[in-house]
């Protein structure tokens, strides 16, 4: 399968399992403060065995085609949403799994990383999705403080509409790749007639300028966009 095939199949799965939620009149708000008319709930996939197994097949193929099996020794999943997907990928590749928190917990061993991460292990971060990427930075920083080498992060779905994300992640030495983006999802939605004209128009307005859309609808505006390496 080509990258285009992988992206199209992923988009079909997300639409078929009801992972794409649309609510322009009552926007969704992300933890970063951005407002959005749509929410891609990749976590919902864990309740659909056939769909999730197919998606993990696609994820493994994408990972191996992009960076190769020899590029990493350990799979890391970020709390909470990334854990099931990272666990399934680690199982398919027969590799160790660790869990990384946004910050160290305040009790017990006060660890930010759960599992055995000994020495300078090469870690592939696996997550469900990224919007503006800030959480990926937290996970990456935590893994590196724990002695890991982190060059790559994989997500099922990448919004791909926040211009500063690639720049900031590049500055951290982190390459982010995905199975699908909004461009792929919209292409499949149009072909299938999955959204009416009004819905498509609203989503396209958001995709064209998500920061402006957010500000107009009560969310964060231009001042919230990082100007330095602060996304992940």
Is the model more confident about 133 or about 105? 133
Kindly list the structural domains of the chain, giving each domain's residue range(s) and its CATH number in brackets, ordered by start: 3-224 (3.40.50.2020)
pLDDT digits (tens, 9 = 90+) for 107-140: 556 678 999 887 768 999 999 998 877 788 889 8
167 band by pLDDT with thresholds 50, 70 and 90:
low
Give the three-class secondary structure for 40: strand
Residue 230 has pLDDT above 60, yes or no: no
Residue 229 has pLDDT above 60, yes or no: no
Count the alpha carbons within 13 Å of 158 in the hemisphere toward its beta carbon. Answer: 21
Instruction: Give CA separation, 106 vs 10, 23, 101, 111, in Å.
Output: 38, 37, 12, 8
CA distance 195 to 189: 6
165 band by pLDDT with thresholds 50, 70 and 90:
low
- For Cα atoms 226, 231, 232, give the angle at the middle one, nearest 5 degrees: 175
Predicted TM-score (pTM) of this structure: 0.90
Residue 182 has pLDDT above 90, yes or no: yes
Residue 83 has pLDDT above 90, yes or no: yes
Q: Which of 69-83, 92-106, 188-202 has the highest mean pLDDT?
A: 69-83
By C-alpha distance, which of 165, 173, 170 is closest to 227?
Answer: 165
Q: Residue 173 has what pLDDT?
A: 84
pLDDT digits (tens, 9 = 90+) for 32-70: 788 999 999 999 999 999 999 999 999 999 999 999 999
Q: Residue 227 has what pLDDT?
A: 46
């Amino acid at each position: 399968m080509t990258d285009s095939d992988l992206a199209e199949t992923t988009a079909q799965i997300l639409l078929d399992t009801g992972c794409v939620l649309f609510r322009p009149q009552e926007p969704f708000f992300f933890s970063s403060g951005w407002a959005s008319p749509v929410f891609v709930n990749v976590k919902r996939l864990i309740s659909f065995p056939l769909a999730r197994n197919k998606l993990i097949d696609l994820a493994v193929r994408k990972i191996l085609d992009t960076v190769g099996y020899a590029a990493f020794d350990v799979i890391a999943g970020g709390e909470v949403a990334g854990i099931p997907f990272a666990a399934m990928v680690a199982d398919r590749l027969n590799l160790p799994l660790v869990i990384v928190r946004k910050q160290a917990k305040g009790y017990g061993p006060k660890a930010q990383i759960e599992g055995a991460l000994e020495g300078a292990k090469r870690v592939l971060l696996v997550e469900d999705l990224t919007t503006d990427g800030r959480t990926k930075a937290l996970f990456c920083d935590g893994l590196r403080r724990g002695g890991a080498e982190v060059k790559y992060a994989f997500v099922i779905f990448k919004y791909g509409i926040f211009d500063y994300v690639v720049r900031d992640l590049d500055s951290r030495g982190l390459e982010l790749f995905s199975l699908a983006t909004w461009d792929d999802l919209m292409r499949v939605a149009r072909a299938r007639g999955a959204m009416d004209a009004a819905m498509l128009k609203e989503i396209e307005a958001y995709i064209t300028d998500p920061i402006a859309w957010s500000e107009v609808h009560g969310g964060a505006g231009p001042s919230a966009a990082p100007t330095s390496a602060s996304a992940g």
